Structure 1
Amino acid sequence: MLKKLKEYFSKESLLSQSYDETEKTLNICSEMFDETVRSLRYSDTAELKIDIYEKDKQINKYQQEIRRKMMTHLAVSPRKEIHNALVLISIVIDVERIGDYAKNIEDLAKNHPKKLQVGKYEDTVKKLEAEVKAKFKSVTSAFASDDIKAARDVMSEHRSITKQCDIILNELVSKPYSEIGSNDAVALGLFLRYMKRVSAHLTNIVSSIVNPFDKIGFKPDEEELEE
């Protein structure tokens, strides 16, 4: 589906610009996520090396520009191109929400007095951080190449990330957490929730490669996954 979309974009300047701008927003979100995680987990000052809210404004600006370009394009384009425009608009909504979760992590870092220590969960949380960070590159690559197999791999990875997050979250709710203290336990729970949602929105983006428009954001049929 995205292959056809990109072939069309190469012929139409407005759509070509919108496609490039979507990739730029993904890269901005990746930068925001990396920096806010560093601030929360590996800094005692919560200072950021980038202006997170300026980055968020850039994403919002791109999103608005893409919408305007899609509207202009659809006003003069054949009816059959409505589908392609809707796919792109759906994708940039997920990108914008990823930016919002990066801001949530930044807010968490500001309100947590020191770098977040997670005790016995340290190895698992570091692994989750690395997996979500790597997922940005995988999603951008799959999006650029219209790689169905890579997209399915990303979708499968999300299940693993979700499972690992849920195991820790359930333990925090059901068992004593004196080892890391109540403040750290609450912060960890929120951080895991934010990472889980970032992963979900990245998965929604690549689902546009695998699924028809009405199923973007949903799992493909199990038979397809096993192929």
Structure 2
Amino acid sequence: MVMSFFRRSDDSGIDHIESQVQRMVTDARHTFDLAMNAVTGGSVASVADEVRLTDRQINVTEMEIRRELVIHFSVHGGGDATEMLVFMNMIKDLERIGDYNKNVF
């Protein structure tokens, strides 16, 4: 995996990271919808396991993105550090949203 990441061109590495961030957004939104449904009268038991499982996936994706960001900006140097920091803050916040949704249960 790491070697294939090194071989990517500058843009394709960021494109891959952006697609992973989009997946995190989708997963966080999904857990939010499930948690709000449970809060507003839905069945808690039927969605609790799915929320926890999706939160674990969000956590794994966060770690993957962090690793890929560090590798990408180390290897391709000269990149905009601001872009990396924005990605880092976004994924931290998305991970936190997943935790909040999980804590509803």
TM-score, scaled to structure 2: 0.80
Structure 1 match to 2:64:
65
Matched with 2:51 is: 52
Counterpart of 1:65 in 2: which secondary structure? helix
Q: How many residues align?
A: 96
Is the counterpart of residue 93 in structure 1 residue 104 in structure 2? no
Equivalent AA in structure 1 for residue 62 of structure 2: Q
Cα RMSD for the two superposed structures: 1.8
- 1:26, 1:95 within 8 Å by CA — same for their partners in 2? yes
Please, which runs of 5 or more residues in structure 1 have no aligned partner? 1-9, 108-227
What SS does structure 1 have at the residue aligned with 2:34?
Answer: helix
Q: Which consecutive aligned stretches of 4+ in structure 1 deviate over 3 angstroms post-superposition?
A: none
Q: Which has the larger radius of gyration?
A: 1
Contact 2:58 2:95 in 1 (8 A): yes
Task: State the Cα deviation string for residues 95-132 of structure 1 (Å, max 9, x = none).
Answer: 00110110122x2xxxxxxxxxxxxxxxxxxxxxxxxx
**Correspondence 1:26 to 2:25:** yes
Q: TM-score, normalised by structure 1?
A: 0.39
C-alpha distance in 2, partners of 1:14/1:82?
Answer: 15
The structure showing larger relative contact order (alpha-carbon pairs under 8 Å, at least 6 residues apart) is: 2
Aligned to 1:35: 34
Residue 83 of structure 2 is aligned to residue 84 of structure 1:
yes
- 8 A Cα contact 1:32 1:99, kept in partner: yes
Give the deviation of 1:16 after TM superposition: 1.1
Segments of structure 2 that go 5 or more residues without pairing to the other structure are 1-8
| Aligned partners of 1:36 and 1:48 also within 8 Å | no
Residues 52, 103 of structure 1: 8 Å contact kept: yes
Instruction: In structure 2, give the amino acid aligned to 1:87.
Output: V
Q: For 2:15 and 2:79, how far apart are their aligned partners in 1?
A: 17
Q: Tell me if structure 2 keeps the 8 A contact 1:35–1:48.
A: no
Give me the whole-angstrom Cα distance separating, in 2, the residues matched to 1:22 and 1:14.
13
Q: Would you say the 8 A contact 2:31–2:51 is kept in 1?
A: yes
